[in-house]
Amino acid sequence: MAILDILIYPDPRLHKVAAPVKEVNDEIRQLVRDMAETMYDAPGIGLAATQVDVHKQIIVMDLSEDKNELRVFINPKILSKCGTQQYEEGCLSVPGVYDTVTRAATVTVEALDEHGTPFTLEAEGLLAVCIQHEIDHLLGKVFVEYLSSLKQNRIKNKFKKRQRERA
Ligand code: QAP
Ligand code: CO
């Protein structure tokens, strides 16, 4: 097990597009375990492989209170979306920043689990938000890109300043 480094916005690697996983093998399962450990350690409720600089279509998520209901989505695909909802989102790659994003209210998603078995899930509420947020990461998109360019520039400058202070 290992805790992986999380890329911090505005790292250009967050905009890479992830490739589908060809075979769900032990190497992929090890990566899934490391991603889960990284997410639980943070702590967060969702993490996409893109955020740990691995550009493969893999997401881990756990919305349970006891942090014992890990969900794994490999090669996820949204089959349908319905309605809209607003949610105050955050992101492990944009620490300390939270803002409201409008997304679909319900989504039907198809993916493989960590055994390579396909499943279909109908999600609503926070689960639907989280799935859309994490799939965006696999497409190279960060939630702040839904905010106004004024807000995006403020967030970018804040993180660039932080980076300079650390250097
Ligand atoms: C994505 O986000 C998400 O700023 C998962 O300082 C979030 O796990 C989807 C976190 C909200 C839907 C709604 C953020 C931890 C964790 C921070 C996360 C922070 C520490 C974010
Ligand atoms: Co995120």
CA of 25 to the centre of ligand 2 (A): 25
Query: For residue 48, how many C-alpha atoms fall within 13 Å in the half-sphere facing its CB?
Result: 32
E-strand stretches of 27-95: 46-48, 58-61, 71-82, 85-89
129 in ligand 1 pocket by Cβ < 6 Å?
A: yes
Q: Would you state the torsion angle of the CA atoms of residues 157, 159, 162, 164, taken in this order, to the nearest 10 degrees? A: -70
Would you state the structure tokens that stand for residue 99, as one six-digit string? 């803002």
Chain CA centroid to CA 145, Å: 14
Using CA positions, which residue lies closest to atom 5 of ligand 1? 46
CA of 132 to the centre of ligand 2 (A): 10
CA geometry: angle 100, 91, 126, nearest 5 deg: 60
- C-alpha 81/C-alpha 105 separation (Å) is 7
- As annotated, the active-site residues are 134
| Claim: this prediction has a pTM higher than 0.85 | yes
Q: What is the pLDDT along the chain (167 residues), one digit of tens a residue?
A: 899 999 999 999 999 999 999 999 999 999 999 999 999 999 999 999 999 999 999 999 999 999 999 999 999 999 999 999 999 999 999 999 999 999 999 999 999 999 999 999 999 999 999 999 999 999 999 999 999 999 999 999 999 999 899 88
